[in-house]
């Protein structure tokens, strides 16, 4: 299980680096410097001029993810009997990896259209979340704390899961805003162009992103309050607290992006922090699920 945990952690790091390098490539306007796939200008190693180096490096990182995923799948299959969640998680990882490869090619053929970017980004983040799940499941020892799962712990799982989903939707809508060039469709806050009622398609999308982002903030605050006011493990509380802190950082980055007219470094920081917010609540949800499972396991052993 130790090897599986380490391989999963390495896969998370490399996959996240690949996603962020892809984001940086698109933000720099180099997303189509390789107009074909899987080669670049018909070559394995093309000229690196005019920003091609960014797209080529992104593909190289993506290629490096493949052997790591294969190693994770082999390691997981060898220990599949030690934890009931390993096999279904293994299936999700394999399916998402295949879909992501297909979407990578489709994004090139569709010239980085906004919807293709959203699908590519969303699938990549779901893939990384599944690797996080494998890492946590592999790192969970065969121990259980005493007692039944409390209703508050089960409720916390639901709240955390809902927050992770809202965060995911916010992130995907933000990817659409960025890739469609509507990042500056609304230059005032909280309204748009001085009005609450918006008119252009870009303004509608921008305000939708802000509305869902506000929902993410309130959900994160609710998770934090629930986790600290009700019984919850220390590790869940730490993950939730980290998620809320990252939400505050995300709000500041969003405001700065509008105020400073979308500098590239801030746009990338906004995208990277959005990914961290999502993963923080995914990890918190998974840890809460493991806490409930341990409590139920302990109860069943006591009853037996």
Tens of pLDDT, residues 192-207: 766 666 668 888 888 8
User: Is the pLDDT at 296 greater than 80, yes or no?
Assistant: no
CA 202 to CA 290: how far, in whole Å?
Answer: 42
CB 255 within 8 A of CB 190: no
| Dihedral pair phi/psi, residue 143, rounded to 5° | -135, 160
Q: CA–CA distance from 105 to each of 34, 36, 162 (Å)? A: 11, 8, 31
Tokens of 111: 């010239």
| CA torsion through residues 46, 50, 53, 56, sign | negative
Q: What is the mean pLDDT of the chain?
A: 87
User: Is the pLDDT at 54 greater than 80, yes or no?
Assistant: yes
From 14-18, 128-132, 137-141, 209-213, the region with the lowest mean pLDDT: 137-141
């Amino acid at each position: 299980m130790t090897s599986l945990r380490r391989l999963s952690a390495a896969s998370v790091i490399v996959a996240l680096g690949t996603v962020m390098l892809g984001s940086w490539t698109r933000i720099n306007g180099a997303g189509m410097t390789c107009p074909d796939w899987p080669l670049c200008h018909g070559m394995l190693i093309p000229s690196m001029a005019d920003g091609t180096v960014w797209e080529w490096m992104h593909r190289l990182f993506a290629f490096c993810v493949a052997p790591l995923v294969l190693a994770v799948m082999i390691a997981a299959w060898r220990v599949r009997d030690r934890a009931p969640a390993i096999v279904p998680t293994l299936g999700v990882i394999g399916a998402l990896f295949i879909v992501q490869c297909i979407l990578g090619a489709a994004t090139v053929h569709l010239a980085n259209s906004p919807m293709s970017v959203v699908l590519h980004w969303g699938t990549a983040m779901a893939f990384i979340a599944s690797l996080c799940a494998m890492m946590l499941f592999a790192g969970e020892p065969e121990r259980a704390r005493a007692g039944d799962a409390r209703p508050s712990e089960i409720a916390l799982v639901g709240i955390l899961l809902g927050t992770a989903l809202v965060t995911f939707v916010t992130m995907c809508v933000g990817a659409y805003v960025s890739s469609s060039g509507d990042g500056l469709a609304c230059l005032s806050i909280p309204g748009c162009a001085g009005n609450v009622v918006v008119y252009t398609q870009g303004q509608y999308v921008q305000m939708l992103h802000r509305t869902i982002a506000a929902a993410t903030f309130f959900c994160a605050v609710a998770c934090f309050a629930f986790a600290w006011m009700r019984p919850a493990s220390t590790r869940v509380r730490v993950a939730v607290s980290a998620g809320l802190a990252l939400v505050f950082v995300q709000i500041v980055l969003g405001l700065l992006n509008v105020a400073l007219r979308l500098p590239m470094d801030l746009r990338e920081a906004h995208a990277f922090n959005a990914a961290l917010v999502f993963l923080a609540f995914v990890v918190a949800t998974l840890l809460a699920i493991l806490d409930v499972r341990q409590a139920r396991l302990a109860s069943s052993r006591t009853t037996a």
